[in-house]
Structure 1
Amino acid sequence: MRQRDGMKKTIRPRTKPSDIRRQELMDAAAGLFIEQGVEATTIDAITARAEVAKGTFYHYFSTKNGILEALRAAFSQGFLDRVGAAVDTVPAGDHAARLRQWLVAGVTIYMAEYELHDVVFHQHGRRMQYRTEKNAIVGQLAGLLAAGARDGAWNARNPEFVAVVVYQGFHGAVDDAIERGLQDPAPIAAALFDLFSLMLRT
């Protein structure tokens, strides 16, 4: 059938955009890693769930560890972006409120996504988990604490060290809450804020 004059022919793309296809592979891997663990998950299983050929996997990732590294990076960057956006809703000079907002957002995100976090970090050792998250997330915290110290909001002579303490306390408290079956992030974030505020005033 001839195309009518003045009508544009719609051409459907033969393949999905690269970023969408890559994300679908990562989503498939994340689901399988949570369900059955990293070691038990095969590349064949990932491609079957994503409904792509095995060659498509190797177009984006060289190994299963490659997609695991991508999931780690995506988790950390997503955490940073969402927590940073939450903190930025508070005026720059209100340092206590910005710390509170960091904790509220961080606890909320971690409690909602701890299964993925644990499988992509903890299953491969705490050293990998600490190195991957510390560099970026602790750095974000250190910047927040340093800004407050400069304005006299609290005492943090070594913001990087204090950020590590806050980060590890945050992690431990949320892990404990999850193990005890707690689901509301608000009281956990409030308790952490009270504790860290007291620590920063001494």
Structure 2
Amino acid sequence: MSQSIDVVSTRALLAAGSEVLLLDVRTPAEFETAHLPGSVNVPLDQLDAYLPQLLAASGGDLILVCQSGNRAGQCQARLGAAGAAGSRVLSGGLNAWLAAGAPVVRGRQRWSLERQVRLVAGGITLAAIVVSVWLPPARYLAGFIGAGLTFAALTDTCAMGMLLAKLPYNRPRVTGGVPAAAAKLREHGSAR
């Protein structure tokens, strides 16, 4: 069963000085654009490599953050399967945090992964329809993209998003990067 926490409760925990680990599972580019103060970035696709540190650091409050809550929910399921109990997903993710007017650390502005998926899927579909005027079988490409988006919605996964997350644009050189996040996780785990 998925456990979640809202923005108001999260802010109250942080304001009370509770020992909370905020784990942001978005891409480094999304994290660089805006993130919760004090959060640690371990992208969802790199979670398995840092599972031991996460398990060691998960003795207290572990709040998982992504853009809307979907990837954080996937992370919670994987952590639970590995034996970590007590993690909670920030309801509505960073979108809800921003809507509540809560503080964020801002960096270089980049497009969100969801916006990139819409651009690529829409661009391919549009190009396929235009090309199908001269080459009718090109319309099947548009159908393939539509089928992929339907599958993504039904399964709550996105293959195109996972592929786009691997592009250099979505993997900027972040000061410290994941190794710094791992060090912070180790520090958080040893403080228990």
Larger Rg: 1
TM-score (norm 2): 0.26
Relative to its length, the structure with more helix (as a share) is: 1
TM-score (norm 1): 0.25
Ranked by relative contact order (alpha carbons within 8 Å, sequence separation 6 or more), the top structure is 2
